[in-house]
Amino acid sequence: MNVNTLKLSGADLPDKLRPIEPPPKQLYWAGISLEEVLSKPRVAIVGSRKATAYGRAITHELSTKLSRADVVIISGLAFGVDSYAHKAALESGGCTVAVLPTPIDKISPASHHNLAGQILKSGGALVSEYGTSSEIFKVNFIARNRIVSALAEVLVITEAARNSGSLHTVRFALEQGKAVMAVPGNINSPTSEGCNNLIKSGAVPVTDVSDIFFALGIASQIANVTRRFNGTAQQRRVFELITDGIKEQEELAAVSRLSIPEISSALTDLELRGYIRPMGGGVWTIA
């Protein structure tokens, strides 16, 4: 793993990272270059470490759809929402950046070592302000969040309780002048109380990925985003046919010249990975 050290003093600090307070003295970076990341639309997705089924599903859906539109997903490699955001981006063939509270060669949590490796292999990046010999302190886990928000244009909280640690990221984002968005949840669910309170305080509610596209300033592209596709040739063929308007399973089988077992397998895999969804009666549509 090649790790680059980026000195961030004076003129060397990219304009898009100048809002970070306190500013890091350097960033240790592995993977896709900082310049390339900053040239793309970027969304930070964070939230509860103990995500519910609702939080996991929403995180997966938003990260998947953003990734397919070539939006970089930024998060902190932590348990819960962070890891689901990274994994959805990887599954979609997108780019994701993980900001670590530890040196790059000391992945935390240790159980996410393989996930970190997948991020690098897929063309993403790992970043930290801590060198190999740095001690690991509890405050690092909060300080890391100011870099997460600074790297992004928009911060999205998909699920958070009232005292969730992800609210530190919200504070940093507001100080940096970044747009803060939150997914509303069940008003009787403690795990959504933080998000609901953020919305009452002025955060922009997210009820569809189009809300995030609008915040990024690319609303005109919502209906025609370039989808990244990661699958077999058969799956790609079926997905393209559905995109072109052929939606009935029997017609899909006839046009694609796939057998019934092959078309059923392709449709199931496409649904599981969030590319399509069933409308009932053997009819499918783009998710």
Tens-place pLDDT, residues 154-187: 999 999 999 998 999 999 999 999 999 999 999 9
Domain 4-223 has CATH 2.60.120.10: no
CA distances from 128 to 5, 40, 103 (A): 10, 20, 6
Is 148 a residue whose pLDDT tops 90?
yes
pLDDT tens-digit series, residues 267-280: 998 888 878 888 88
Instruction: Determine whether 141 is exposed, middle or buried from the number of CB atoms within 10 Å of its CB (0-12, 13-18, 19+).
Output: middle
Please report, to the nearest 10 degrees, the dihedral formed by the alpha carbons of residues 266, 269, 272, 274 taken in order.
Answer: -60
Which sequence spans correspond to the domains of the chain? 4-223, 233-286
- CB-CB contact of 166 with 194 (8 Å): yes
pTM for this entry: 0.79
Cβ atoms of 266 and 258 closer than 8 Å? yes
The whole-angstrom separation of Cα 8 and Cα 12 is 5
Q: What is the pLDDT of residue 244?
A: 76
Q: Which residues pair with 127 in a beta bridge?
A: 29, 99
Question: Which residues make beta-bridge pairs with 206?
Answer: none
Cβ neighbours of 44 (radius 10 Å): 30
Phi/psi of residue 276, nearest 5 degrees:
-135, 170
pLDDT, mean of residues 13-20: 78
Class of the domain covering 233-286: mainly alpha
Greater confidence (167 vs 22) lies with 167
The reply to whether omega before 109 is within 30° of 0 (cis) is: yes
Q: Which residues contact 7 (CB under 8 A, 6 or more apart)?
A: 25, 26
Helices 209-216 & 53-68 angle (0-180, nearest 10): 50
Which of 41-45, 103-107, 219-223, 257-261 ranks highest by mean pLDDT? 41-45
